[in-house]
């Protein structure tokens, strides 16, 4: 892979992030309502709203606000303070980012636990009842709304069976068991859906490899089916599967936003929603920028890994 290609991709990434930051700023004057009004609530008078907006710095020209915001991030890694609760946003991000990442990885894990076995099983017997079953399940899994699945899981496991907490988060400091109990339902919600999508990719990746000459040769040599699958098929399908994982991380992240809101999971997604509703612009901008960055970085890494794993892919 050429160094120039990498530089070019990084340049595009920065350009896109710059665009995202501009766009999040450009929408501010379009959104009705102001954080000052939200804070003051029904007690707001025009004079107090104006005074508070002045204190929040919202009466400065937009370009000035933008420059001070961007320079804070670039020079000091500082996202500014929340307009509503006055807390430094960087501190909130430090606490919430791990929660989002843990949820995303747990969901990915559950997704892979579903996708890999079912994808392999159905690829080995294409057209069988097993294959059909997997494919029906995965179609349903892809079509189920994440927020509805979340509700159904809460209804069943929290409200009827009382096995798991219906939402919220327990820090690791409260012990491993409460931690895992809290993460299970939200991770399963996002995981089942992404697992269903991935199962189809795993299946087709396997099918492609199974159709290759060396697999036929291996089988013709009378090798044990188990050995063929393990030694030849899985190893070669792995490349595609890694790429799929990368692509899935991006989809998964947007699913995680919804799941966080449903399960009151204290991550970046629920922070972004609250910020939107409260018009807490710096918090919204910070979370959008972080999501966009992770999207872009994941996409880049996926592309790069694809190039690395499969030399036949051209990268010009």
Partner 1 sequence: MRRLTLTIGLLALLAAASLGFAQKAGGTLIAAWAQDPVSLDPQITSAMSSLQVLENVLDTLTALDAQGKVIPSLATSWEVSSDGLTWTFHLRHDVKFSNGRPMTAQDVVYTYSRMLDPKTGSGQKYLLGSTESVTSTDDYTVQFHLKTPEVALLTHLAVNKAVGIIAKESVDNGTISTQPIGTGPFMIADYQPGTEVVLKKNPYYWKAGLPLLDEVDIKIITDESVRQTGLLSGDIDWAISVPPQSLSQLQNAQGVVVDKTTAGAYWYIGVNLKHTPLNDPKVREAINYAINRKNITDAMTFGTGVPTQDPIPPSSAWAYNYAPYSYDPTKAKQLLAEAGYPDGFRMQIMPTTQYPESIRGAQVIQQELQAIGIRVTIKSLEWAQWLQEEGKGNYDTYVCSWNGLVDPYDFFYAQHHTGQVFNFTGYSNPAVDKLLDEGNVTQDFAKRKAIYQQVNKMIVDDAPYIYLYNPANIQAFRNYVKGYAARPDQAVQFVNTWLDK
Partner 2 sequence: MSDAAVVPRETIEETRPRRSLVKRALAHPLVVTGSIIVLVLALVAIFGRWLAPFDPTAMDFGARFAPPSFTHPFGTDDFGRDVFSRVLFGAAVSFKVAFIAVGISGTVGVLLGLVSGFLGGWIDEVVMRFMDVLFAFPAVLLAITVMAILGRGVGNAMVAIAIVYIPIFARVTRGAVISVRGREFVTAARALGQGRWRIMLRHVLPNALGPIIVQTSLSLAFAILAEAALSFFGLGTQPPEPSWGRMLSEGRSFLQQAPWMGIFPGLAIMASVLGFNLLGDGLRDVLDPRSSR
Residue 274 interacts with which of partner 1, partner 2, none, CB < 5 to 8 Å by class: partner 1
Report the residue number, 82 or 270, with the smaller CB distance to partner 2. Answer: 270
How many residues lie near partner 2 (CB under 8 A)? 46
If one counts every other C-beta atom within 10 angstroms of the C-beta of residue 125, the result is: 12
134 binds partner 1 (CB under 8 A): no
Q: Is 61 in the site for partner 1 (CB under 8 A)?
A: no
Nearest approach, Cβ of residue 66 and partner 2 (Å): 16
Our finding on whether 296 is near partner 2 (CB under 8 A) is yes
Nearer to partner 2, 16 or 304 (CB): 16
The tokens describing 47, both together, are 């004079």
Cα→Cα distances 191→21, 108, 148, 176, 187, Å: 30, 6, 14, 20, 6
Query: Running DSSP on this structure, what letter comes out for residue 88?
Result: B
Instruction: Enumerate the β-bridge partners of residue 81.
Output: 88
Interface with partner 2 includes 200 (CB under 8 A)?
A: yes
Q: Report the residue number, 27 or 172, with the smaller CB distance to partner 2.
A: 27
Q: Reduced to 3 states, what is the DSSP secondary structure of residue 81?
A: strand
- For the chain, the straight-line distance linking the first and the last C-alpha, in angstroms and rounded, comes to 9
Q: What is the DSSP string of 239-276?
A: HHHHHHHHHHHHHHHHHHHHHHHHTT--SHHHHHHHHH
Q: How far is the CB of 265 from partner 2 (least distance, A)?
A: 14
Cβ-proximal residues to 223 (8 Å cutoff; 6+ apart), any chain: none
For position 45 contacting partner 1 by CB under 8 A, the verdict is yes
Binding of partner 2 by 15 (CB under 8 A): yes
Q: Is 280 exposed, middle or buried (0-12, 13-18, 19+ CB in 10 A)?
A: buried
Q: Is 273 in the site for partner 2 (CB under 8 A)?
A: yes
User: Going by C-beta distance under 8 Å and a sequence separation of 6 or more, which residues neighbour residue 275?
Assistant: 82, 281, 283, 284, 287
Q: Per rule CB under 8 A, is residue 229 in the interface with partner 2?
A: no
Subset of residues 274 to 293 that bind partner 1, contact rule: CB under 8 A: 274, 277-279
Query: Measured from the CB atom, is 94 or 235 closer to partner 1?
Result: 94
What letter would DSSP give residue 29? G
Exactly one of 133, 145, 168, 175 binds partner 2 (CB under 8 A); which one?
Answer: 145
- Options 143, 159, 173, 312; binder of partner 1; rule CB under 8 A: 159
Q: Which residues bind partner 1 (CB under 8 A)?
A: 32-52, 54-55, 82, 84-87, 92, 95, 154, 158-159, 162, 165-169, 264, 266, 270-271, 274, 277-279
């Amino acid at each position: 892979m050429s160094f120039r290609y990498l530089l070019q991709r990084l340049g595009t990434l920065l350009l896109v992030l710059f665009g995202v930051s501009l766009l999040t700023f450009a929408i501010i004057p379009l959104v009705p309502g102001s954080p000052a009004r939200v804070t003051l609530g029904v007690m707001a008078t025009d004079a107090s709203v104006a005074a508070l907006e002045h204190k929040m710095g919202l009466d400065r020209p937009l370009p000035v606000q933008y420059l001070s915001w961007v320079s804070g991030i670039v020079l000091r890694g500082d996202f500014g303070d929340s307009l509503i609760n006055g807390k430094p946003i960087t501190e909130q991000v430090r606490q919430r980012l791990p929660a989002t990442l843990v949820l995303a990885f747990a969901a990915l894990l559950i997704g892979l636990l579903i996708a890999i076995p079912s994808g392999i099983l159905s690829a080995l017997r294409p057209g069988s009842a097993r294959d059909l079953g997997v494919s029906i399940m995965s179609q349903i899994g892809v079509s189920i709304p994440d927020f509805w699945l979340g509700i159904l899981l809460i209804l069943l496991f929290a409200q009827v069976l009382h096995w798991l907490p219906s939402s919220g988060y327990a820090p690791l400091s409260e012990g491993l068991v409460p931690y895992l109990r809290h993460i299970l339902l939200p991770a399963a919600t996002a995981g089942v859906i992404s697992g269903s999508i991935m199962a189809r990719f795993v299946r087709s990746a396997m099918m492609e490899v199974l159709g290759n000459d060396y697999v036929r040769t291996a089988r013709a040599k009378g090798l044990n089916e188990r050995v063929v699958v393990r030694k030849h098929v899985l190893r070669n399908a792995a490349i595609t599967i890694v790429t799929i994982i990368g692509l899935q991380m991006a989809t998964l992240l947007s699913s995680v936003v919804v799941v966080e809101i449903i399960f009151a999971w204290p991550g970046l997604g629920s922070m972004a929603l609250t910020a939107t509703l409260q018009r807490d612009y710096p918090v919204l901008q910070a979370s959008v920028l972080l999501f966009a960055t992770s999207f872009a970085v994941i996409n880049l890494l996926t592309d790069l890994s694809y190039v690395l794993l499969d030399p036949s892919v051209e990268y010009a």
